[in-house]
Amino acid sequence: MKFLDNFFKKIPDSVLNAVGLIAGLIAIAQVVPLILNLIVSLIKGTLPKPVIGNIHIALFTMCGLTGWLIFKLVKYRKVQAETREMFSNNFYALLHSYRNALGEIEVADSKNENVAIYINHFAKDTLDSLSDIFCKLTRQKVSACIKIIVPDEDLKYENAKVRTFCRSSNSDERRPKYDNENTYEGIISKNTDFKSIVEPGKCLSCFYQKDLEAYDKQLRSLEGDAQKYENTNIDWKEYYLSTIVAPIRIANKRNPKVPEEQSYTIRGFLCVDSLSKHAFEDSQREYYQHIVKAYAALLYSILDIYKIRVEDIQKSSQQLDENLFEERTEQKGNRSSENTTGPREASAYLNNPKHATMQRKSPRVKESRIIKNANKITSGKNQ
């Protein structure tokens, strides 16, 4: 029975419904003519004795068909109830976790503690919630991850790099290993999913493909190899063949922190994928896109906090380290060393135990160390 359950779970609902409909029509097509003939025979009074057996067969078939319809109705109502329960439980848990994460971040920030850990935990809970919804909706294994854009003010989005921030718990165990070995997975312009969202002239609100292999062939047929599906992970087919990608962004008209040079401020991408080509049917495109985009919208504020309180502070701390070194060398009168000493010497200087007291005087340096440890957790085993 377990084997049959697993087998039927892999069959899309659309296929099961089509088979059920065809079976019902065949049953009706067989029974209706027989009943009509019986009625005509009864009216004419020419009902032969052998026909009595046919009446029993017809009644048995009608009872079977009625039972099948009742079974389908009960199953449909059960599926509806399970879907309502799934969505209500997941959305309650998601918003509950979001509220708690905001509170924990504020408390940790006020105590000068590690905020990145709380952000990572919330992100992982969110991805688990999203993957759970899609696994139950599609009856396929679906995993999720967050890719964040590596900050670089001098680059446009299409030329920026991305890295994996975290993954859902049901992800293939090889994928976190790949993330650890490849801190930066390449620039956005080398990934069709991301490029389609940020590229001027396209700016898709969501990238949705149920069959990436067919999509790749379609692109190649248009302009040869000049157009193809690009992915910086050359082994992507081992991990997924269908995907939905939504940007984690906000319109600049709603973001007072940045000038309106570009239409959106993008923190990263929310990716949902599966090895099954039946996971994301075209008939469900609109509904599935709305689910992914809803989760992406919620993640924006958390990743915005991450950028401001972790990445920006880390960058400031690194700059402060260099400034401390320069100030110290100036006090010693070694002005010539300012022109010849680089970041490596600065790091060696600051790591020298003799200067530990100077580092302790700066809370920014302390925060930098905390953040670096948090980032190891964020990009390491917790993924």
pLDDT of residue 9: 55
Q: Are 299 and 126 in contact (CB under 8 A)?
A: yes
State how far Cα 208 lies from the chain centre. 12
> How many Cβ atoms sit within 10 Å of the Cβ of residue 114?
20
Residue type, 90: N
User: In sequence order, which residues have a C-beta less than 8 Å from that of residue 164 and are 6 or more positions away?
Assistant: 145, 146, 147, 179, 185, 379, 383
Question: How many angstroms separate the CA atoms of 374 and 382, rounded?
Answer: 11
Question: How many angstroms separate the CA atoms of 3 and 29, rounded?
Answer: 33
pLDDT of residue 227: 82
Q: List beta partners, residue 249.
A: 266
Question: How many angstroms separate the CA atoms of 23 and 64, rounded?
Answer: 12
Question: How many angstroms separate the CA atoms of 93 and 85, rounded?
Answer: 12
Identify the three-state secondary structure at position 225: strand
pLDDT of residue 382: 41
pLDDT of residue 54: 59
pLDDT of residue 85: 85
Spell out the per-residue pLDDT of the chain, length 383, in tens. Answer: 455 555 555 566 666 666 666 766 666 666 667 667 766 766 766 655 555 555 666 666 667 767 767 776 777 677 778 888 888 888 899 899 999 988 988 898 888 888 888 899 999 999 999 999 999 899 899 999 999 988 666 667 777 888 899 999 999 888 887 777 766 667 888 899 999 898 877 778 899 999 999 999 988 887 666 688 999 888 899 999 999 999 999 888 877 766 665 678 889 999 999 999 999 999 899 999 999 999 999 999 899 888 877 665 555 555 555 555 566 556 655 544 444 444 444 444 444 444 433 333 333 344 444 444 444 444 444 44
pLDDT of residue 5: 54
pLDDT of residue 263: 79
Q: Are 296 and 270 in contact (CB under 8 A)?
A: yes
Work out the angle at residue 77's Cα, subtended by the Cα atoms of residues 6 and 1, and round it to the nearest 5 degrees.
25
Give whole-number Cα distances, 324 to 217, 234, 345, in Å.
Answer: 56, 43, 12
Q: Is the pTM of this model over 0.75?
A: no
Question: How many angstroms separate the CA atoms of 113 and 111, rounded?
Answer: 5
Q: Are 358 and 328 in contact (CB under 8 A)?
A: yes
* Residue 299 burial class via C-beta count within 10 angstroms: exposed 0-12, middle 13-18, buried 19 and up: buried
